Structure 1
Amino acid sequence: MKSAKAKITFSILLILGLFVVGYFVNIMLRSNDDYASEADKDEKRIEVSKYPGVDLVTEITEKKNYNMAIHYPKFKSDKLNTEMEGYASSVKEDFLAIVEESKEYIKDRAAVLSLAMEIHPVVENVYSIVFSEESYVVGANAQQKAKVYIVDAKKSDFIQKTKILKDTKRNREQLYALINKKFKESKEYSPLLLEDGLKIWAADPNNKLNGMYFTDKAAVFQFDKYEVTAGAAGMPKISIPLDEMQNLLTDEWKEKLQIENDKKDEKDDSKNNTKDKDKPQEDKPVKDDASPKGGKRVALTFDDGPHPKNTLKILDLLEKYDAKATFFMLGNRVDFYPEIVKEVADQGHELGNHTWNHKDLTTLSKAEGIKEVERTNQAIKSAAGRESTAFRPPYGAVNKQVQSAISSPTVFWTIDTLDWKSHNPAAILNIVQENVRDGSIILMHDIHATTSEAVESILKYLKKEGYEFVSVSEL
């Protein structure tokens, strides 16, 4: 009898023991999953921008077979965010599906996806969000698409184009005439215009004017590649000043846009007066009193910024160790954080151009590549008061066409810290320690918090080893 009870008790204890073990194993597995999830999320960063109520989400992924650079806005509204996140996810999923289908053909060149975003204030709390999707997997041509949203951040809603533009047959005819005129006036687009395609676009009753958006000064029409022009035009944009669009606007928006324009003109006049006074200071070149010391020298370079927190932290560390560096910046981020660019310049660091949207320039036409670089140059000069003096192509992808189109020196690297991959300050430092020598150019990315954590240990180590920190141009 006692033996039977003992067996039952043992069985119950065994079951309870297995349950407890299973419970803790499950907790551990969930913890591991959470850790993996956190590691994945580390590729996804949310940063405060200069636009009220709008943050910037950035995902940059670099794999053996593909590279992705994805940007989209984050609002305070769940409704707006659901749409933005859903759109970005659908673009990413479609791209990865094509990569999977084509993986046996992807050999010499990794597939590339760039989902870039521009934001244009229209009136208070109203923004045009303009996405440019560009991908290359295999074949001869990159795929290019555009998508536009007009959002009211305060009301947490999307604004339909027909609320702004009166969509009638007569207005469509006038719109065609305006756009056609602008195309023909453009030296860049005129030879590439497919006029019949534009007529079809304007007359199509199913055309919801999806590529149309507004700034505070103009209506802009963004077309997909091949839609109304030959492929060499890429995704053409035609801008029509609002005063030429007055008759096509609804009464509500005619009033809103005109009032805002009047105020904007006053502000712009005030800014121009201030700018004229400050112009001699802005144009004054930065004096470099440093002289070669004849010792070992190394160039620290930072790509993909600026970042509102990490870049400032790195600047503080560089100042602490009396170090100069080169920052290769993306134009679309310069637009979001001009004050950070100004700080980089004011502290005497070299300004580098890393294109506007982090696109693989070897997949673009020469005209598109030039536009990526020149637009970034203009943004850097506007923010910093001086131009960039070096250029680094995204992914290090360059060919003769790219080289012939870029006037600034093209700068690569000799040490890739793989900071984007490891997110481990100790691992980043170890790569530097094992590979550094006189004249090394070290590649890092100031968009990663873990990189900013690694910088001090790198500076400390290299200074102890007798290295002087200079810009790439000084090398």
Structure 2
Amino acid sequence: MLRAAASVAAAGALVAGCDPDRDEDPGARHTRRASPSGESHPVPAPAHAARPPTRASGLPVEIAHGPRTGHAVALTFHGRGDPTLARALLGEAERAGARVTVLAVGDWLDEQPAMARRVLDGGHELGNHTMHHRNICALPAAEAYAEISMCADRLRALTGTIGSWFRPSQAQRATDLVTRLARKAGYPHVLSYDVDSHDADDPGAPAVQRTVLDSVAPGSVVSLHLGHAGTVAALPPILDGLRRRGLRAVTTTELVT
């Protein structure tokens, strides 16, 4: 808990510009280049490229988990909320050598456009979680399609692709209509999950950790959320627990392809 709290505080200090000798973005990786005057300046490392929509041969249109015979799981995060908490969480994952999948909400990307590149530059994966996080399975076809396509447009403008995955908002499973509309928008699969952390209810870090580790299995796709301090605090012990079981956290595309 103290480690995660410190990470949150550090991320906040960086955003506020309190440490001029460190990069503003805790996930940025830099080399150093000498100027003609002999001074050393940080030079951003090449950015990770955005992935196009993933096509997993032999898997169903709606994917809830990956192979049960491997040694990997996918931690997937609904992308919305305080960007300081989001950066802290991504930093925790990177310190542990983990890679995650962020399903971003379009209006969050409008408010926090730099987060798209922050996710990708950390080696993570970015996808579509609708434009406004409405109950997409209850919407008429035209409105549901607009929710998917508008977020896809935001992702394309920011990264060059519509993202690796589409996940329906306010629903674990997509209806047949939403599945068809997602395919129309360019997503071969709908991404579901088999483990719900219930972290959005803010039960506290120990409860989130217990829920995930009690339910996870090889191949699991775990549903988590950005923007919750308890999730940031829970992530290091979750990753430790996975490692003790011989499991590693990878992107969803790595899990299923």
Q: Normalising by the residue count of structure 1, what TM-score does the alignment of the two structures yield? A: 0.38
Q: Which runs of 5+ in 2 are unaligned?
A: 1-45, 52-68
Moved over 4 A (4+): 281-286
Of 72, 81, 105, the residue aligned with 1:297 is 72
Of 87, 102, 111, the residue aligned with 1:327 is 102
Map 1:96-245 onto structure 2 (within 5 A).
none
Q: Distance in 2 between matches of 1:461 and 1:447?
A: 22
Residue 284 of structure 1 and its aligned partner are, at CA, apart by: 5.7
Of 377, 380, 405, the residue aligned with 2:181 is 405
AA at the equivalent of 2:118: E
Residues 449 and 322 (structure 1), Cα distance of their counterparts in 2 relative to 1, 3 Å cut: same
Partner of 1:373: 148
CA deviation vs aligned residue, 1:8-57 (integer Å, no higher than 9, x gap): xxxxxxxxxxxxxxxxxxxxxxxxxxxxxxxxxxxxxxxxxxxxxxxxxx
- Equivalent position SS for 1:303: strand
Residue 423 of structure 1 and its aligned partner are, at CA, apart by: 3.0
1:449 to 2:229 alignment: yes
Partner of 1:61: none
AA at the equivalent of 1:415: V
Partner of 2:218: 438
Whether the aligned pair in 1 keeps the contact of 2:76 and 2:102 (CA below 8 Å) is yes
Partner of 2:65: none
Residues 283 and 446 (structure 1), Cα distance of their counterparts in 2 relative to 1, 3 Å cut: closer
Whether the aligned pair in 2 keeps the contact of 1:325 and 1:349 (CA below 8 Å) is yes
Q: Distance in 1 between matches of 2:47 and 2:83?
A: 23
CA deviation vs aligned residue, 1:135-192 (integer Å, no higher than 9, x gap): xxxxxxxxxxxxxxxxxxxxxxxxxxxxxxxxxxxxxxxxxxxxxxxxxxxxxxxxxx
CA deviation vs aligned residue, 1:337-374 (integer Å, no higher than 9, x gap): 01111110122211111101111122222121111111
Partner of 2:242: 462
Whether the aligned pair in 1 keeps the contact of 2:221 and 2:252 (CA below 8 Å) is yes
Residue 306 of structure 1 and its aligned partner are, at CA, apart by: 5.5
Q: Which runs of 5+ in 1 are unaligned?
A: 1-280, 287-293
Larger radius of gyration between Structure 1 and Structure 2: 1
- Equivalent position SS for 1:406: helix
1:419 to 2:194 alignment: no
Q: Distance in 1 between matches of 2:48 and 2:148?
A: 21
Greater helix fraction, Structure 1 or Structure 2: 1
- Equivalent position SS for 1:386: coil
- Equivalent position SS for 1:299: strand
Residue 329 of structure 1 and its aligned partner are, at CA, apart by: 0.9
Greater strand fraction, Structure 1 or Structure 2: 1
Residues 285 and 354 (structure 1), Cα distance of their counterparts in 2 relative to 1, 3 Å cut: closer
- Give the root-mean-square deviation of aligned CA atoms: 2.4
- Equivalent position SS for 2:248: strand
Aligned length: 190
Residue 427 of structure 1 and its aligned partner are, at CA, apart by: 0.6
- Equivalent position SS for 1:335: helix
- Equivalent position SS for 1:352: strand
Of 130, 138, 154, the residue aligned with 1:355 is 130
Q: Distance in 2 between matches of 1:354 and 1:303?
A: 7
CA deviation vs aligned residue, 1:401-434 (integer Å, no higher than 9, x gap): 1111112211111111111224310011111221
Whether the aligned pair in 2 keeps the contact of 1:331 and 1:376 (CA below 8 Å) is yes
Q: Distance in 2 between matches of 1:333 and 1:400?
A: 27
Residues 415 and 357 (structure 1), Cα distance of their counterparts in 2 relative to 1, 3 Å cut: same
- Equivalent position SS for 1:444: strand
Q: Distance in 1 between matches of 2:175 and 2:70?
A: 34
Q: Distance in 1 between matches of 2:176 and 2:49?
A: 34
Partner of 1:390: 165
Q: Distance in 2 between matches of 1:430 and 1:468?
A: 17
- Equivalent position SS for 1:394: coil
Whether the aligned pair in 1 keeps the contact of 2:208 and 2:230 (CA below 8 Å) is no
